[in-house]
Structure 1
Amino acid sequence: MKVSDKMSFDGSFTHSMRNELASTLKTGRVSKINQPYPNELIVTIRAQSKNQQLLLSANPTYARVQLTKIPYVNPSVPSNFTMIMRKHLSGAILVDVQQLDNDRVLNFLFTSRNELGDQTALCLSIEMMARHSNIILIDQKNGKIIDAIKHVGADVNRYRLLLPGATYIEPPKQDVQDPFKKTTFEDITNLMTEFPNVDVLATNLRKGLQGLGKDTSLALASYLHQSGKPAANFKRFFDQFNTPKPTLSNLANNKINFTAFPYPGAIKNQLYPTLSELLDHYYAKRAQHDRVREQGAVLIQVVKKQLKKNRTKLKRLKRDMAETENADEYRIKGEILTTYLNQLQRGMATIELPNYYANNTPLKIKLSTQLSPSENAQRYFKRYQKLKNAVKYLNEQIQLTEQEIDYFENIQSQIEIAQPEDLIDIRFELEQGHYLKDHEQGRKKKKAKRQKINKPETFISSDGTEILVGKNNLQNERLTMHTADKREIWLHTKNIPGSHVIIRSFDPSDNTLTEAANLAAYFSKARESSKVPVDYTRVRHIRKPNGTKPGFVIYDHQQTLLVDPSESLVNQLRK
């Protein structure tokens, strides 16, 4: 599925989200603050006897605010921004959640106490404006910025500085109307008369109304053209943002979109209990993929560089190998020269002699004018021998280079399916292989510490059998060679880079076997394919040759299943 290019998290959706967050979080107390990713903050608020994870994202692509249940991993050392947030907001009480007009700006108002015990009023503002998105903590008493997740100086924006100590200035207001406060509708009627086409009407509605993304303006234009008075249709449309039915919609061109309630034109709609749960489902894979690419940028660069180097090397080796196919020509010429040595004279550049290997057909042979007749013959024998000796070397080098390419293609596919925490294992593996400089180098050497490898992901089959899936080479090797019982079942995509999968059963059902094969296909380079071949055998038939790279094994006694990878089945099997 492709993400819709329409603006889903517009001001109107923000209106609905404000209501959801206010009803859930008001009067709650801040218990934790973490910054798992550079542009995202998680504020844990204890409200209604539950710990609620409030996600504030200033990501340029996925800017949003919501409650989330998706687990995250904190960096080992908190950022300066995190420390400042903790200093001012730890233990603070959330008084209110307010929206700036109908814009994509939410202000979380807190009361707290400073180091002297005096009560303070703080505003944590999130501005969700694509690349200008930001998270800003403001002292409400003096209107000064305490800190921002992205610092913006005068060289970038002369209108408003977003720096510690600067006076906070709201984003510039546009000359548009807040649709939730609109009471007269003559202008709407005039627009409908002037622009009867829905698409053109939607464009002009966006120009005059605040907080309308493209999808919302199109939906409003469709509502206005329904039977009844435009004013009543307008009010009915925006009333639905106050009683949302969170919707994930399948659109034309294989795109998906989220809305506060079902919009016209969707092919299929799926409803969710809350807006936050809708966003968790919509953004989980997309935001995670973006985070992986952001955090794994160095790893991705190393892998691409190694693939390019080895693919270039392989082309050169195969070109050299092609030249060895002409080796016999040099031997034949050497033998013919030796046979007719008495016809050769020093200083000759070429000679034409009968080729007794081809019915005495005349064969033209180049000679070196600097060599004697016998030396010319020996020169051809030496070139023949050199090429023959090269065959063994080239075959070995081609095999090693192809293995390197397979290895890095495997690493590449592992990064694509990785969760942020899996990158630690991949980085360590590349460091151990000397493909990536050890990040500890240059520092004072500490006592050697064994790298802790993350555990494989656990799934439960429909009949209750545990299935383990390694996400990278280190996890795969530990899972297959150390964790699994020799009698358990091992699965892997056939001749395709992917995860090692272990069924923790000596005699799994056919259904469990099929589900495990689906996991193996999904967590492989063939995730988007169909009829993916998956081999399975008992762990006792797996062997790791000496000196091979992490995760590399050979196996026999295998059988093969063909499966179509299914994301919905994977989510269903997740523990």
Structure 2
Amino acid sequence: MHVDYLTLACLRDDLDACLGARVQEVLLVTELTIGLELYARQRRYLVLCAEAQTAHARLSADRVRRGHDVGTPLLLRLRKWLRGARLMDIAQPTWERILAFDFAGPEGRCRLIAEIMDRYSNLVLVGPDGCVLDAAKRIGPDKNRYRVTLPGQLYVPPPTPAGRHAPRGVDWEGLLRDAPPDQPLHRALSGHLLGVSPTLAREVVTRAAGDPAAPPSAVVVDAVARAVIELLAPLDTGDWEPHLGLDEQEQPIAFAPYRLQQCPRSERMPDISTAIERFLLGRTAVDAYAAARREVQTAIAAVGHRLRVAMAQINDQLPTAGTIERLREDGELLLAYQHQIAPGCAQVTVPDHRGEPRCIELDATLSPLENAQTLFARYAKARRAAEELPNRLAQLQADQAYLDQLAADLAAAATRAEIDAVRDALVTAGWLSQPARRPTPVGGPTRVVYAGYTILVGRNARQNEEVTFKRAAPDDLWLHVRGRPGPHVIIKTGGQEVPESVVEHAAALAARGASAPAGDSRVPVDVTLRRHVRRMPGGHPGMVTYRHERTIRVSPAPAS
């Protein structure tokens, strides 16, 4: 699902009709999806979704259904700032997948920023001082030192990817010359140009060469330039042509603000929001196991919420070294100066160990000695917390990593047995109270033969455990997408040197279903020998640590 710069630019033009609209209500559709009920001569619903697989923005004439009864911190902030507010302006940074909505309301002016960037998507509410009021995904410095989306922190927009160029004024001859000759040209276009998604890149190549998978050698430079000019023209004219792309079975496979010549059939839509809605409805309709999948998704979301709350509580309780030492020093100072402190004082200022004045808060109902004993008790408790809480936090983080893997397993599940396997894994982990049913046979890992080499691909956490620790030899190659949940992939080497083309093919399988980092079209995949992979101590099935890896960047293999 590719919501790119052109898609949002088309939507941005449609949203002009909502300027001046008053926000009647703020609804929580999912934990990462909100709906704003807008009224200006007619009622419309603005939907903003930050889900990794379905991130998008759209307008809807139909009432948005409330999906969650429990409010999130962002929902509470949005209701406080946006109820009764008017939509004053909508901005889209050039070549970015971002829409910024400016509101003026009873609490003052604020900005709701929708960052539509696949798994990096977020919804951020920013106050009049430019600081974050709250976000759908609170990102701390432990996850991203450059961009922190925590309340009170200054909002920093996503960085512009290095080495990428705006699609206007490009040296097309140089780009085609430098593009890898053995890969389709559309990969080079989406990988080197700002605002160009895989869908747009394939459309450019289709219009230039008649084949979306054409290599650089089959494409004429002038034809590429003409196709780009043609597709970007509505940015200046506003003459958008929203279309829904259909396959041979009439199922939606793409949407765009232009006619999709790359698809077997392209159907004109009244607006881009309708195209997005039809695409999403089509995805739900072809999923025969949607109800079972939603049940497990709900369970995963509930567990994730509990884990995030627990981690937030630990972070709040975790004392700093300075706080701990301050308690000890304050207790020692009260003991040293207890005879100089008058009874009933609420605070006292005494010289500290460096001769600097130190103000110490007291309980006026206690004697100086009892206040000192209270401080020493708090000091001992803080020391215990500093020793015990990091271990608890590490366990919760490991649980979150495993839950992310199960969420990825569920997204990739193609059969009821695979969906049930994820549910049973939740039960086994103690996150669901229902007794585990008799396991439904899922089958074994996927086996692929490429250039004479056997490649094994785990399809869920338990299969990852199997391919890595039961099927692989120490000298086999092990691959996994870097820093994200995904399949474990094994290349059976037979003790031989493996060609890089085989490694890249296996890496593309490992990256299947993963979103590329913001500003890139390729996914980083780590490669190491199986002998360097170890089970994570006390971890869940498929959770590992590894070393001596090298990282390659590949385009994910298409879903099978």
Instruction: Flag the structure with larger Rg.
Output: 1
When normalised by structure 2's length, the TM-score is 0.48
When normalised by structure 1's length, the TM-score is 0.47
